[in-house]
């Protein structure tokens, strides 16, 4: 059984519904609870179930709200969140006029990494300039938002399986990072 708790919101999952109901009954003896039924929406993440029991997690509404907040509701989609040859320098243009907007949008992009892991590298780059964002940094943020305009309904698909098998890959191009000059990293994680 897995139990996820965030402040006063709880998600409980297990293959046996009778065990879930037993836990809910036990919790009701000590706390006032409202059973919301099957997971649909949690902390800005929409959960959609396929006919074969797979779970699709997306943040479509969250992205739309982000577009409204940044005045980019009619943004033209881009094919990638960052051009691979892009090198974001610390200086190079004038200071961005609305630093609180920059920080707010970039912070929201960090939360989007939960269901859009492909923007991780690009978001990491723009995060490095939150203390003094410049106009060219804001252009990089807008590029990420334009990419999201074309992938707004994408998300994570969690397939139903009788065995727990988690596999993740990380391959970041840190070798071309002019600021940290770290070597490239590629890692595979498997948990069974």
- Please say whether the beta carbons of 112 and 148 come within 8 A: yes
Does the pLDDT of residue 192 top 90, yes or no?
no
| pLDDT confidence bin for 178, thresholds 50/70/90 | low
* Tokens at 78, concatenated: 């881009």
Q: How far is it, in rounded angstroms, from Cα 176 to Cα 85?
A: 9
Partnered with residue 168 across adjacent β-strands are 189
Nearest to 109 by CA among 74, 71, 81: 81
Which long-range CB contacts under 8 A does 44-53 form with residues at least 24 apart?
44/111, 45/114, 45/115, 46/155, 52/160, 53/160
Mean pLDDT over each residue of the chain, to the nearest integer: 84
Does the pLDDT of residue 70 top 80, yes or no?
yes
Q: What local confidence, expressed as pLDDT, does residue 85 receive?
A: 66
Q: What local confidence, expressed as pLDDT, does residue 161 receive?
A: 76
Q: How far is it, in rounded angstroms, from Cα 104 to Cα 108?
A: 6
Nearest to 155 by CA among 74, 49, 53: 49
Least confident among 29-33, 103-107, 170-174: 170-174
* Tokens at 116, concatenated: 């859009």
């Amino acid at each position: 059984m897995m139990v996820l708790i965030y402040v006063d919101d709880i998600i409980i999952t297990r293959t046996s519904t009778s065990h879930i109901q037993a836990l809910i009954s036990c919790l009701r003896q000590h706390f006032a609870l409202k059973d919301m039924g099957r997971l649909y929406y949690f902390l800005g993440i929409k959960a959609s179930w396929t006919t074969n029991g797979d779970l699709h997690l997306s943040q479509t509404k969250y992205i739309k709200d982000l577009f409204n907040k940044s005045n980019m509701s009619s943004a033209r989609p881009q094919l990638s969140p960052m051009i691979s040859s892009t090198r974001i320098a610390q200086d190079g243009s004038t200071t961005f006029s609305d630093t609180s907007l920059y920080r707010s949008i970039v912070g929201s992009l960090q939360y989007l990494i939960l269901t859009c892991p492909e923007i991780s590298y690009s978001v990491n780059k723009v995060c490095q300039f939150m203390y003094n964002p410049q106009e060219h940094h804001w252009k990089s943020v807008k590029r990420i938002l334009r990419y999201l305009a074309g992938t707004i309904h994408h998300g994570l698909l969690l397939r139903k399986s009788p065995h727990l098998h988690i596999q993740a890959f990380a391959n970041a191009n840190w070798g071309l990072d002019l600021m940290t000059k770290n070597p490239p990293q590629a890692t595979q994680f498997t948990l069974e």
